[in-house]
Structure 1
């Protein structure tokens, strides 16, 4: 019984080490989203941080600031959604589909 426990603890430690490595890798990976046919582009990393926002001049209409705000909001939310999906997919590969609360 003690041998099984030691083996299980090694597996848990390896999984923890793999997760730490994966978290670091995901911080360097990015996803990109755009809105308004590409006039607003947002890049997010695997830590759900926005790392770039690009707004083309034709998206800036002083008469319609609300549209630009909506485009930025849409692109940001989509980039964050894609980032979460990327993390979930990669974590699923690592954990074999087990949902482990509190990991992300």
Structure 2
């Protein structure tokens, strides 16, 4: 029984290390999102860090419109980045979890 517990703990530590490595890798996965008319483009990492914002000159003339574009486009980009982030981390966690009866967390 102690051997099983030691094996499980080792597997969990290995999985934690893989999760941390995946988080670092996701800093290099870029997500691009544009407004429907292409006047605003944002780039985020899969860890939801903003890397770039491109604004068409015509949007710079209307502050209220620009704010609306930023909110909509950033929210869409964050949603995409979150989906990528969660899928990648869940995949690593799922493959690294030991088989413990009654602990089917990732079905």
Fold similarity call, TM over 0.5: yes
The 8 Å contact of residues 42 and 76 in structure 1, kept in 2 or not, is answered as yes
User: What corresponds to 2:51 in structure 1?
Assistant: 51
Unaligned runs of 5+ in 2: 96-104
User: What corresponds to 1:86 in structure 2?
Assistant: 84
Q: TM-score, normalised by structure 1?
A: 0.84
The CA RMSD over aligned residues, in Å, is 1.6
Give how far 1:95 is off: 1.7
Relative CO higher for 1 or 2, CA cutoff 8 Å, sep ≥ 6? 2
> How far apart, in 2, do the equivalents of 1:36 and 1:85 lie?
20
How many residues are aligned here?
A: 97
Give how far 1:36 is off: 4.0
Unaligned runs of 5+ in 1: 100-104
> How far apart, in 1, do the equivalents of 2:39 and 2:59 lie?
6
